[in-house]
């Protein structure tokens, strides 16, 4: 048997599944010598929660089953301590006491939020509650591929340094008990009340291949007093009629115009639409009609909508599923600016949330006067490079949204700059060539006295490169040797005054002119970082600074 010492924790959580579909168990022997047996999932992984006494030793054996993720939970200071992950090999358990060391792989981000391992996608339930930022997210804890959806959970005091917390939502029982069903806990949002958090989310259930006849999506509500332990979940909204596709998901709830309002992404009579529901108490909802239709050819449906006031305008955002634009960017997220009257959105302007190809499903929340958004760093071009105990997916740097010049501006939250470490470079009006940058995690800031074309090499691999290119009045991320090489990740930018670049292993994020545009791109390059900037006119680059970025894991 493998030995586990509980320390300050009072619970062991194990996702376990039978190896051959037959009876399988997790056997636990406590300090008194008494043995307890817990059944594993037959066809799917099932979460087993085993109560422990603090500061005691246990023997834990997996009998005819495998475990995906295991951790110790239920500590008094869990929001600061986080869970303690365990790895099982050859009958022995090993604690992952040093996450900084665990994340030191060629590809894993160092200062972006990334799961302990395996798959994550959309951020959900973003909020500030009782001194902590909470981020929930869709996850498949069992592999580096999409699968049945769970909600993972992380918390932070500064929205930069995160701790991992227990999974909070599981797939439905009819999915866990079946071999041929698909679904689980899809995306949703959170509303902070005086003494609890109320969550709204989509449940998905259907066959492996979605169909209008069999696939069902519906909205549920669940509450939590501490953000960790959830109450009973109940269904609150189902699609109104057969005009609606089964694509009916991702509720975002806000308090606006003296009532609770929920927006949902859907497709009505083959038209991608965002619809709304209203409620006086946040529990009983009434359909309120279509908020916005998108008739651009090629958009299949809306998903992951968001709506919020910002300055004197309303902002509505939505992800365009299955759409490829003229530059061949796939599934972009768009924002709309305008007025929101009588349940309809009157568009004044619209634009890309992010001009590159790996930013999706953004969700925002308000805290102390700031509108903060987090998006999923997606991989629609299938460029992921698997590695042992690796992770598919991460989250973009939290971004502050604000209005300027009647446009939506997007900049990194100020807290991220606290991670700046040693200075690699601080020069003026010259080309720069930096190689072997430690850990390939760095930050660069450039200011310009005049418009000038340039190319900045940000990453290399054996077969390709990633560059940031300024040409005439455009800014473009250019990749070679990768599956997305044919895509133009480009934005119009008449004047370039300031440029910020965040490189974090496989992730590149670019921000121009204090948030006038943002771009996020994946690139799997060499372990050592590189920054080579060559300007058409050297004196146009007024100042160039490059800094190491410290990691967020301990």
Lowest mean per-residue pLDDT among 88-97, 187-196, 282-291: 88-97
Phi, psi of 209 (to 5 degrees): -105, 115
Whether the CB-CB separation of 150 and 137 falls below 8 Å is answered with no
What pLDDT is recorded for position 345?
A: 97
How far is residue 118's CA from residue 481's CA, in Å, rounded to a whole number? Answer: 25
Name 238's Cβ contacts closer than 8 Å, sequence gap at least 6. Answer: 218, 219
Segment 338-360 shows an average pLDDT of 95
pTM above 0.85, yes or no: yes
Segment 209-213 shows an average pLDDT of 93
Whether the CB-CB separation of 414 and 402 falls below 8 Å is answered with no
What pLDDT is recorded for position 1?
A: 62
122 flagged as catalytic? yes
Q: How far is CA 134 from the centre of its chain?
A: 12
C-alpha distances in Å from residue 415, one per residue of 370, 432, 552: 13, 27, 12
How far is residue 214's CA from residue 185's CA, in Å, rounded to a whole number? Answer: 17
- If DSSP states are collapsed to H, E and C, what string results for 178-193? CCCCEEEEEEEEEEEC
Lowest mean per-residue pLDDT among 202-206, 395-399, 402-406, 536-540: 536-540
Q: Above pLDDT 90, what percent of the chain?
A: 94
Which DSSP letter does residue 149 get?
B
How far is residue 200's CA from residue 222's CA, in Å, rounded to a whole number? Answer: 7
Read off the tokens for 231: 């109450």
Whether the CB-CB separation of 543 and 469 falls below 8 Å is answered with no
CA trace torsion 51, 53, 54, 60 (10° rounding):
-70
Q: Which helix (H) or strand (E) holds 78?
A: helix 78-81
Residue 370 has pLDDT above 80, yes or no: yes
Whether the CB-CB separation of 379 and 324 falls below 8 Å is answered with no
* Catalytic residue, candidates 20, 122, 210, 250: 122
């Amino acid at each position: 048997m493998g030995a586990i010492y509980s320390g300050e924790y009072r619970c062991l959580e194990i996702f376990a599944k039978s190896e051959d579909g037959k009876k399988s168990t997790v056997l636990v022997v406590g300090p008194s010598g008494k043995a307890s047996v817990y059944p594993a999932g037959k066809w799917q992984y099932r979460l087993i929660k085993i109560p422990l006494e603090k500061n005691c030793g246990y023997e834990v054996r997996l009998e005819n089953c495998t475990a995906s993720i295991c951790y110790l939970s239920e500590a008094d200071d869990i929001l600061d301590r986080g869970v303690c992950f365990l790895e099982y090999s050859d009958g022995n358990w090993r604690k992952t006491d040093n996450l900084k060391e665990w994340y030191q792989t060629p590809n894993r981000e160092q200062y972006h939020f990334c799961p302990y391992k395996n798959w994550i996608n959309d951020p959900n339930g973003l909020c500030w509650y009782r001194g902590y930022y909470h981020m929930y997210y869709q996850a498949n804890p069992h592999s580096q591929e999409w699968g049945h959806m769970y909600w993972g959970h992380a918390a932070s005091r500064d929205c930069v340094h995160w701790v991992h917390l227990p999974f909070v939502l599981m797939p439905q029982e009819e999915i866990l008990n079946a071999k041929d069903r698909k679904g689980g806990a899809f995306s949703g949002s959170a509303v902070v009340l005086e003494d609890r958090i109320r969550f709204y989310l989509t449940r998905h259930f259907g066959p492996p291949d979605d169909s209008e006849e069999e696939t069902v999506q519906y909205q549920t509500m669940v509450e939590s007093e501490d953000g960790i332990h959830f109450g009973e979940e109940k269904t609150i909204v189902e699609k109104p009629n057969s005009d609606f596709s089964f694509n009916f998901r991702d509720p975002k709830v806000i308090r606006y115009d003296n009532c609770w309002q929920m927006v949902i992404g859907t497709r009505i009579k083959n038209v991608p639409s965002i619809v709304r529901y209203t409620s006086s108490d946040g529990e009983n909802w009434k359909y309120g009609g279509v908020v916005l239709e998108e008739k651009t050819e090629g958009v299949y449906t809306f998903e992951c909508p968001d709506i919020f006031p910002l300055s004197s305008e309303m902002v509505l955002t939505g992800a365009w599923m299955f759409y490829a634009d003229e530059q061949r960017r796939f599934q972009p997220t768009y924002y709309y600016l305008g007025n929101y009257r009588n349940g309809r959105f009157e568009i004044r302007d619209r634009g890309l949330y992010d001009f590159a190809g790996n930013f999706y499903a953004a969700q925002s929340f308000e805290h102390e006067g700031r509108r903060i958004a987090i998006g999923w760093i997606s991989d629609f071009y299938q460029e992921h490079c698997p590695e042992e105990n690796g992770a598919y997916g991460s989250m973009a740097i939290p971004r502050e949204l604000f209005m300027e010049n009647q446009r939506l501006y997007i900049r990194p939250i100020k807290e991220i700059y606290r991670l700046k470490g040693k200075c690699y470079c601080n020069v003026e009006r010259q080309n720069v060539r930096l190689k072997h940058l430690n850990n390939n995690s760095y930050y660069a800031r450039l200011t310009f006295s005049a418009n000038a074309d340039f190319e900045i090499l940000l990453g290399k691999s054996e077969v390709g490169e990633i560059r940031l290119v300024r040409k005439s009045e455009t800014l473009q991320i250019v990749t070679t040797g990768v599956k997305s090489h044919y895509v133009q990740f480009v934005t119009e930018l008449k004047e370039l005054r300031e440029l910020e670049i965040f490189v974090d292993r496989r992730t590149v994020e670019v921000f121009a002119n204090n948030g006038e545009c943002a771009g996020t791109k994946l690139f799997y390059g060499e372990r050592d970082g590189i920054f080579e900037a060559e300007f058409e006119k050297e004196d146009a680059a007024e100042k160039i600074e490059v800094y190491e970025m410290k990691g967020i894991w301990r």
